[in-house]
Structure 1
Amino acid sequence: MCLICGAPEGEPHFGGICCRACAAFFRRYFHSKKVSKKCTCKERTIKSHPCRKCRVEKCLKIGMTPEKIQGGRDRNTMDHLQMIPSGSCSPSSPPSLLTARIISRATSNLEFAYSNWKQFNRMRREVGGITYDMNIYDLTSLTKIDIELTWNMVISMFPSTRKLEESDKAALLRNFHMKFWMIVPIFDCIENPEFYENTKEEDHKNMMVEFYDGSFEKGKELTKKEIVRIFEPYWGSFYTKTVPPIVGLNLEKEELMAVLWLLFFDNGFINISSECLEMCRNIRKMILRELKNYQTDRNYDEMRFFDTVETLDIIEKGEQKFMEELLVCEMHNVRIHDDFKAILKENKY
């Protein structure tokens, strides 16, 4: 919804999420020569918008920036283009488009994606009661909640996915769910670098024991020493081969969102229809284009684009290792919720 007035038609505008009416107000405000110095909210009716001063302050607070407002579109004048200093071209020659200020390339979907991801995590904590001391059975019990919240995030980001058949929708969500288990701890390490850097080997062992302890079948529990011996190779692989190369890229939140959605709209699966495959292919093209635009606007090295896309392979290799870990869980009587088992079974076969 619009973060300014609460209207349901919120979209990415100028760096924030708002309706078209509030976006138009924001554009008019900065194109206008009027300056609102005083709050007049007390003089207005209850149902009206806040005064210009308060409304524009709210726009700025949600991330909207005047720098993202394009100039006028009058085709008969070039006055809105910001030219290079006078004297750099002869008076007789007309201004070249090469001298004009370059408008930022389209990256609105990636900008919108991060606020969507934050809302997803907030809802996951509130609805699922996520805590750091949950074991593997507790977390797999949230499978249905995770899938429902994921789909809400998908249709909010990409409304065209509402047209998909139920079979395609279910297949995309099942295909993504194992990758989701890779993404969450990786993003946690990126968003909490101090915690990640200060976590020692002994801390990892304690986290591992807590993750499995309490999830074994009754009478078939493993000791803490046995848990470490059996599962340490998988955790060690994740925190030495999967996490470090991705964290080391210092990806910004928009780049992380590109990785997230490229993983979701994987067009390499065989359990989706040709129509769904085509939609995935088109959405991936759009995401890759916006990722490239985002990095170009920030003057990143050309290799950063390829390094970012390469994280998909790193995560998929981590997913394969995670599948092996889940098979080991079955061998050692670790309880996993039936909803999660159903997804695991489909991915195995």
Structure 2
Amino acid sequence: MCLVCGSPEAEPHFGGISCRACAAFFRRYFHSKKVFTRCTCKTRYTNSHPCRNCRIVKCFAAGMKPDKVQATRDKHSKKSLENSPTGTLPSLLSARIVSRDSSSLTFATSNWREFEILRDKMNGGKIGYMNIFQLSSTVRQDIELTWKMVYNLFPATVNLEDSDKSALLRNFQLKLWQIEPILENIENAEKYAMMDAEEFENLIVHFYEGTFPKGQELSKTEILKIFQPIWIYYYTKMVLPIVYMDLERAELMAIIWLLFFDNGYTNISPDCMEMCQNIKKVILRELKNYQNEKDFDDMRFIETIETLQLIERGEKKFMEEMMICEMHNVRIHDDFKAILKESKL
């Protein structure tokens, strides 16, 4: 939805979300020599756009930025004519016009940071110290925080049916458990590089200790024997390969939202599948634009997309881990159990 006029068809323009008409208005506003100083909304038709003054204020509130407005086409055309040896415009067939917009990924970065801060605050700063039961108990608040973030980034999702919203959010929770250790290792690379075998083992034991029914506790040795191979798989086969890619934050955001808007889910409607597919196209385009701006190697785009396969394999291994937890009576919160059960259907 356009954040300026409310039009149902909107996309990123100049750093904000708007329809093409409001984007064109924003561009014209900064190319025009006219100055608008008086609000005329009271004298306008009920269903018309707000006056220029109010409309430009809404554009700014939607996040649109003047420095993202390119020079006028007339100036570009004049410059091209002057530089052309024949005095004519170069052929469009020989020109390579590439959209460089990657504003959604930039916006996603700040939104994800806010999500992390709020999530940590709501859990008393103990997210990184929780065992598996405590962490699985946060699923409801995670879903609520995720939805706020999704709506801020992709306002069109407000039109989804409640069943589709719920399904996308629940599906994403399993992926969130794969994403977190990757981001944690990237942000604290030095800490994990210096971690010795004993510290790694203590991390594993702490994650499961205190989650067994009385009288069915496993010893430290038993916990490591059962779960350490899974953790080593995660670390060597999923986390480290992505960490070694040295991806920037915007690229990581692209991966996260490509995972969220997976149109291959079986528990969403055809309309939701189509919306997911369209949003994924926008994300992929912005990812390519971002990497072009950074002058990255062309293979980086392919390698970035391939991380999705690594995370999906990690998710399958995670489901195996949950089955092993069930076999050994590890306590997991009922809310998270319901998501696990749904993913098996």
Q: What's the TM-score once normalised by structure 2's chain length?
A: 0.77
Task: Give the alignment partner of residue 137 of structure 1, picking from 133, 144, 147.
Answer: 133
1:44 maps to which residue?
none
Amino acid at match of 1:125: D
d(CA) in 2 for partners of 1:241, 1:336: 25
1:42-191 matches, cutoff 5 A: 66=67, 68-74=68-74, 77-78=75-76, 90=85, 93=87, 96=90, 105-131=100-126, 132-191=128-187
Amino acid at match of 1:251: L
Q: What is the CA-CA distance between 1:78 and the residue it aligns to?
A: 3.1
d(CA) in 2 for partners of 1:307, 1:184: 20
1:232 maps to which residue?
228
Distance 1:220 1:130, change over 3 A: farther
Asked if the contact 1:12–1:112 (Cα under 8 Å) also holds between the matched residues in 2, the reply is: no
d(CA) in 2 for partners of 1:204, 1:104: 45
Aligned length in residues? 300
d(CA) in 2 for partners of 1:336, 1:80: 67
d(CA) in 1 for partners of 2:332, 2:213: 10
Distance 1:247 1:320, change over 3 A: same
d(CA) in 2 for partners of 1:14, 1:197: 40
Q: What is the CA-CA distance between 1:290 and the residue it aligns to?
A: 0.9
d(CA) in 1 for partners of 2:66, 2:239: 34
Q: What is the CA-CA distance between 1:93 and the residue it aligns to?
A: 3.5
2:282 maps to which residue?
286
Distance 1:243 1:65, change over 3 A: farther
Distance 1:13 1:165, change over 3 A: closer
d(CA) in 2 for partners of 1:97, 1:199: 59
d(CA) in 2 for partners of 1:265, 1:246: 20
- The answer to which of 92-101 and 284-293 deviates more is 92-101
Asked if the contact 1:242–1:314 (Cα under 8 Å) also holds between the matched residues in 2, the reply is: yes
Distance 1:193 1:331, change over 3 A: same
Distance 1:72 1:109, change over 3 A: same
Q: What is the CA-CA distance between 1:65 and the residue it aligns to?
A: 9.4
1:261 maps to which residue?
257
Q: What is the CA-CA distance between 1:230 and the residue it aligns to?
A: 0.8
Distance 1:256 1:198, change over 3 A: same
d(CA) in 2 for partners of 1:332, 1:314: 27
d(CA) in 2 for partners of 1:229, 1:119: 38
Asked if the contact 1:15–1:65 (Cα under 8 Å) also holds between the matched residues in 2, the reply is: no
Q: What is the CA-CA distance between 1:187 and the residue it aligns to?
A: 1.0
d(CA) in 1 for partners of 2:244, 2:140: 33
Q: What is the CA-CA distance between 1:96 and the residue it aligns to?
A: 4.7
> Does residue 208 of the first structure (1) align with residue 204 of the second (2)?
yes
Asked if the contact 1:171–1:271 (Cα under 8 Å) also holds between the matched residues in 2, the reply is: yes
Amino acid at match of 2:319: M
Structure 1, residues 302-346: CA drift from partner, whole Å, max 9, x if none? 211111111111000001111111111111111111111110111
> Does residue 309 of the first structure (1) align with residue 305 of the second (2)?
yes
d(CA) in 1 for partners of 2:78, 2:260: 41
Amino acid at match of 1:239: Y
Local SS of the residue matching 2:271: helix
Asked if the contact 1:136–1:212 (Cα under 8 Å) also holds between the matched residues in 2, the reply is: yes
Task: Show structure 1 runs of 5+ residues with no match.
Answer: 1-10, 33-58
d(CA) in 2 for partners of 1:226, 1:218: 16
Asked if the contact 1:12–1:111 (Cα under 8 Å) also holds between the matched residues in 2, the reply is: no
Q: What is the CA-CA distance between 1:250 and the residue it aligns to?
A: 1.0
Q: What's the TM-score once normalised by structure 1's chain length?
A: 0.76
Local SS of the residue matching 1:78: helix
Local SS of the residue matching 1:170: helix
d(CA) in 1 for partners of 2:76, 2:250: 32
- The answer to which of 232-241 and 290-299 deviates more is 290-299
Amino acid at match of 1:107: S
Asked if the contact 2:15–2:104 (Cα under 8 Å) also holds between the matched residues in 1, the reply is: no
1:38 maps to which residue?
none
Asked if the contact 1:259–1:312 (Cα under 8 Å) also holds between the matched residues in 2, the reply is: yes
d(CA) in 1 for partners of 2:110, 2:328: 40
Distance 1:307 1:339, change over 3 A: same
Local SS of the residue matching 2:307: helix
Amino acid at match of 2:110: S
Amino acid at match of 1:163: N
Q: What is the CA-CA distance between 1:196 and the residue it aligns to?
A: 2.6
d(CA) in 1 for partners of 2:72, 2:150: 34
Task: Show structure 2 runs of 5+ residues with no match.
Answer: 1-10, 34-59
- The answer to which of 260-269 and 103-112 deviates more is 103-112
Distance 1:198 1:65, change over 3 A: farther
